[in-house]
């Protein structure tokens, strides 16, 4: 007998989700500090597993999270649109000391005190790229690296009007922000371009790579009329 369980979906297409079973009995016990810096701390976390056995884990925590929010940061999925032009994704080419390499990533940053996700997203977009935009969607709370830290974020979808005067004349911003280079990639070429960057030695942000893969798989399923539940 297997440990799979069926989770019923509240829809009318008679499709269900398969789960490997329920692990609802795990429980946090305590957290003890190991070391702390200016931005991050390392802690020893004691918890009980599903069988009641006490176990220990080590995890990092950001010290910048406000007590009024459940997230540390926002990531911005910014669509750049101009009349008679291909839709583009706004990304950044940036040096990341922790990686010891340059990365290709979405605009993102820490949420400041008393900031809402939408305000934070528009601020980060402006600071990182010079673009202004309008909010289209705010996603749920997401874990960033659950095996190593409690860092959480929200993805915010933003539309940038490329025909707006402020979004066309950005020379002064780009000239003054050489440590971050905004790049525009056509949506239809996103996965291909990311692969090219990876081949050139850049580290690709996992979130934008997953997004690019999802775009390709979604397009393929529509072309081939494959039910989305069959895409693995």
Contact 122, 158 (CB under 8 A): yes
Q: How far apart are CA 128 and CA 163, in angstroms?
A: 19
Beta bridge mates, 118: none
Please give the average pLDDT of every successive group of 10 residues along the chain, which has 232 residues: 55 58 80 95 95 95 86 96 94 95 96 93 94 96 95 97 85 60 95 98 97 91 58 38
pLDDT of amino acid 66 = 80
pLDDT of amino acid 230 = 39
Contact 112, 73 (CB under 8 A): no
The predicted model scores a pTM of: 0.83
Q: State how far Cα 17 lies from the chain centre.
A: 24
Residue 30, H or E segment: strand 27-36
Domains of the chain: 1-63 (no CATH), 71-230 (3.90.79.10)
Token pair, residue 85, equals: 């032009």
Buried b (16+ CB within 10 A) or exposed e, 221-231: eeeeeeeeeee
Q: How many helices (H) and strands (E) does the chain have?
A: 5, 14
Contact 191, 212 (CB under 8 A): yes
pLDDT of amino acid 136 = 97
Phi, psi for 215 (deg, rounded to 5): -60, -45
């Amino acid at each position: 007998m297997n440990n799979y369980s069926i989770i019923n979906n509240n829809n009318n297409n008679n499709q269900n989700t398969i789960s490997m079973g329920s692990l609802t009995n795990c429980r946090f016990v305590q957290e003890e500090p190991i070391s702390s810096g200016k931005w991050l701390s390392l802690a020893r976390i004691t918890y009980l597993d599903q069988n009641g056995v006490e176990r220990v884990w080590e995890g990092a925590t950001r010290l910048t999270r406000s007590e009024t929010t459940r997230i540390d940061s926002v990531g911005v999925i910014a669509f750049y649109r101009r009349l008679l032009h291909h839709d583009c994704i706004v990304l950044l080419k940036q040096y990341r000391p922790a990686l010891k390499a340059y990365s290709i990533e979405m605009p993102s940053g820490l949420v400041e005190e008393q900031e809402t996700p939408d305000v934070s997203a528009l601020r980060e977009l402006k600071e990182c790229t010079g673009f202004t935009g309008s909010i289209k969607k705010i996603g749920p709370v997401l874990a960033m690296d659950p095996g190593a830290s409690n860092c959480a974020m929200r993805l915010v979808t933003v539309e940038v009007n490329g025909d707006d005067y402020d979004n066309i004349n950005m020379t002064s911003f780009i000239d003054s922000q050489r440590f971050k280079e905004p790049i525009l990639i056509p949506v239809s070429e996103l996965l291909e371009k990311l692969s090219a960057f990876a081949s050139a030695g850049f580290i690709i942000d996992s979130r934008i790579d997953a997004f690019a893969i999802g775009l390709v798989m979604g397009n393929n399923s529509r072309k081939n009329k494959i039910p989305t539940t069959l895409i693995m």
